[in-house]
Amino acid sequence: MWAGVLLDELARAGVCEVVLAPGYRSAPLAMAAAADARLRIFTLLDERSAAFFALGLGKRTGRPAAVITTSGTAVANLFPAVVEASYSGAPLLLLTADRPHRLRGADANQAIDQAGIFGRHVRDFVEAAPPEVDAEALVHLRAVAARAVASSLGRPAGPVHVNLPFAMPLAPTPLPGDIPDGFAAAHPLALRGRAQAASLTRIAVRRSAPPAGPLTELAARVREVDRGLIVAGPSPEPERDGRAAKALAATTGYPLLPDALSGARFGDAEGALRIGGYDLFLGDALTREPLRPELVLRLGASPTSANLLSLLAEAGGEQWVIDAGDRWKDHLNVASDYLRADVAAFAEALCAELRAGRDSEDAWSGLWRRAEQAAARAFAESSRGELFEGAVCAEVVRAAPPGSTIFVSSSMPVRDLDAFAFPSRKPLLVHGNRGASGIDGILSSAAGVAAGGGGPVLAIVGDVAFFHDMNGLLSARDHAEVIFVLVNNDGGGIFHFLPIRDFEPAFTRHFATPHGLDFAHAAALYGLPHERVRTRAQLGSSLERAIARGGSGIVEVVTDRERNRLRRQAVYDAVDQG
């Protein structure tokens, strides 16, 4: 009854998905979830994978999925996904079963200290009371559920932990006198909730509006300054914030530099001048000099591109950071003004304040347009022939069906997608775990995004990240449609771009870490189709077959770490010379 009331109220508050990891202490929660027809249930064997799967669901749907685990180290296995959810602003609910209080700290089996285990990484933590047949306690439990969902959706969104102690017996076996006769009739709110499937308390999630004074001041500066720039960083709400960034660029006339994870790079430009390839041409100091802006409007998190960050560090002048989160988003310490405001609401308000738009076809915009065109030509000419990893990302974008989603791994894939995937009118959504930038849980997160709906997902992932989360292949096989584009360079390719590469033999042994794994065996283990390719033409054909076939599968692209570094550098050199 206790678990059923909790799950009922979560569903009333908007939870639609529950991810179960098997365990007996959590049996009351699992049985209650299975009995509720409103909930989609996903059962995954590995708690770590389950948490990242739920994270992906939250990223795609914008609502928290609930992860249910048993007690002990099962709870600790949620921690990596909790950190990522916290830093990327993704909603997530953690329902962890626990031993009753009398068994804690007393050498009881599978009992660890779960209270506050996630520390400051959760938006809220609740230690639920032990189950009891009491109307006030059950109404309070409903209130806990409603508040947990609201806290997870708050600004910023993030993980919420509810710890639930359960004593034996755990199976739903009827016991005489367990629930007094007439209890349900006497306490309808406690047992059945509010009428018409309403939540106990409707909690409005506040979006922080920009203060009027700074908004008016900024609008005046935009009218005065021609050499302005809009930088759209990674967003927890890419569809909403991406549209807002394009609208703001169209109104101000400023060039828009959309991060691959901003939601503004793909789809209709809606009148904005979108610039791609900026990481390719901003690496040269002489090129950056004439492109230094006088005014920068930076939306959301810091951009992925290191070369764009160099431009921002050198620019000086006015730089306005607009972000609704409570985590500081200016590690370069270059912001002249910082507004804690909802990005989309800010953009809408500034557009209304400016009213008339500015012509984007001026000398300043022309500089950026010509730089992008030169970068695109140089990339096209220098990326012919042998496939390198930047071209893999460009080919995936080319092959992705309109309306599909790309999930990009941290480390080099997200950097390569940002650098080599130019803006296009094709509607694509891009997700990634860029909050804490870890390479763990990538396959499971991509599967969760795919399970959230919206067409197939093409996940670009390196071999080390793939190895980290091979259990995610099971969730992709059973619950999702994901084409994993595995970039296999036999180790940690990103380290070849760092000075440590010159220090052999320690570099190869301890950083590059070649593993020699044959991932065809992993595909066979999980029953997934697998193809291995080496050329751009082979990749394109393999992706077409995988998309037409449907379901999940693996397209493995074999590359060489050092040759990839040299090819990538050759592209940058060609852009500089162009």
Q: For all residues of the chain together, what is the average pLDDT?
A: 92
Q: Give CA–CA dist 445/54, Å, rounded.
A: 7
Q: Any residues with CB less than 8 A from the CB of 567 and at least 6 apart, and which?
A: 383, 386, 388, 390
Element holding 242 (H helix, E strand): helix 238-252
Query: Residue 516: what pLDDT?
Result: 85
Query: Residue 493: what pLDDT?
Result: 66
Q: Provide the CA 308 distance to its chain's centre, in angstroms.
A: 21
Query: Residue 360: what pLDDT?
Result: 58
User: If you search the block for the tokens 């202490």, which residue do you land on?
Assistant: 25
| Nearest alpha-carbon partner for 299 in 268, 355, 340, 358 | 340
Q: Is the pLDDT of residue 505 over 90?
A: no
Residue-level length of the chain = 578
Across 301-330, average pLDDT: 92
Q: What pLDDT, in 10s, does the model give residues 428-486? A: 999 999 999 899 999 999 999 999 987 789 999 999 999 999 999 999 999 999 999 99
Q: Both tokens of residue 503?
A: 């220090």
Q: Are 77 and 51 in contact (CB under 8 A)?
A: yes
Q: Give 52's pLDDT tier (boundaries 50, 70, 90).
A: very high
Q: Any residues with CB less than 8 A from the CB of 484 and at least 6 apart, and which?
A: 443, 446, 459, 461, 466, 473, 476, 552, 553, 554, 555
| Nearest alpha-carbon partner for 338 in 354, 325, 351 | 325
Q: Is the pLDDT of residue 361 over 90?
A: no
Task: Classify burial at 285, counting beta carbons within 10 Å of its beta carbon; exposed 0-12, middle 13-18, buried 19 or more.
Answer: exposed
Q: Is the pLDDT of residue 561 over 90?
A: no
Q: What is the DSSP string of 317-347?
A: SEEEEEE-SSS---TT---SEEEES-HHHHH
Is 2-170 assigned to CATH 3.50.50.60?
no
Across 39-45, average pLDDT: 96
Q: Is the pLDDT of residue 206 over 80?
A: no
- Amino acid type, 56: G
Query: Which CATH number among 3.40.50.2020, 3.40.50.970, 3.40.605.10, 3.90.550.50 corresponds to the domain 384-577?
Result: 3.40.50.970
Q: Give CA–CA dist 449/480, Å, rounded.
A: 8
Q: Is the pLDDT of residue 357 over 70?
A: no
Q: Give CA–CA dist 303/276, Å, rounded.
A: 13
The runs of H, that is alpha helices, within 383-471 are 389-399, 412-420, 442-451, 463-468
- Amino acid type, 451: A
Where do the domains of the chain lie? 2-170, 212-371, 384-577
Intrachain domains 2-170 and 384-577 with the same fold: yes
The share of the chain scoring above pLDDT 90, in percent, equals: 74
Pairing of strands 318-323, 337-340: parallel
Query: Residue 407: what pLDDT?
Result: 97
Q: Which of 31-40, 317-326, 495-504 has the lowest mean pLDDT?
A: 495-504
The top-level CATH class assigned to 212-371 is alpha beta
Query: Residue 317: what pLDDT?
Result: 85
| Nearest alpha-carbon partner for 280 in 365, 382, 194 | 382
Query: Residue 157: what pLDDT?
Result: 94
Q: What pLDDT, in 10s, does the model give residues 368-402? A: 999 999 999 999 887 776 788 889 999 999 999 99
Query: Residue 383: what pLDDT?
Result: 76
Classify each residue of 328-356 as buried b or exposed e, where b means 16 or more C-beta atoms within 10 Å of its C-beta: ebeeeebbeebbebbbbbbbbbbbebbee
Three-state SS for 86-151 is HHHCCCEEEEEEECCHHHCCCCCCCCCCCCCCCHHHCCEEEECCCCCCCHHHHHHHHHHHHHHHHH
Query: Residue 60: what pLDDT?
Result: 96
Find the angle CA(109)-CA(53)-CA(430) to the nearest 5 degrees: 155
Q: Is the pLDDT of residue 510 over 90?
A: no
Q: Give CA–CA dist 60/91, Å, rounded.
A: 10
Find the angle CA(425)-CA(431)-CA(433) to the nearest 5 degrees: 150
Across 4-10, average pLDDT: 97
Q: Give 111's pLDDT tier (boundaries 50, 70, 90).
A: confident
Q: Are 396 and 387 in contact (CB under 8 A)?
A: no
Q: What pLDDT, in 10s, does the model give residues 115-167? A: 999 999 999 999 999 999 999 999 999 999 999 999 999 878 999 999 999 99
Query: Residue 163: what pLDDT?
Result: 97
Residue 449 backbone phi and psi in degrees, to 5: -60, -45
Q: Give 496's pLDDT tier (boundaries 50, 70, 90).
A: low
Q: What pLDDT, in 10s, does the model give residues 69-93? A: 999 999 999 999 999 999 999 999 9
Query: Residue 506: what pLDDT?
Result: 82
| Nearest alpha-carbon partner for 445 in 90, 36, 2 | 90
Q: Any residues with CB less than 8 A from the CB of 218 and at least 6 apart, and which?
A: 297, 320, 337, 350
The share of the chain scoring above pLDDT 70, in percent, equals: 98
Three-state SS for 264-295 is CCECCCCCCCECCCHHHHCCCHHHHHHHCCCE
Query: Residue 204: what pLDDT?
Result: 84
The residues facing 258 across adjacent strands are 232
Q: Is 429 helix (H, G, I), strand (E, B) or coil?
A: strand
Q: What pLDDT, in 10s, does the model give residues 254-269? A: 999 999 999 999 999 9
Report the 10 Å Cβ neighbour count for 88: 26
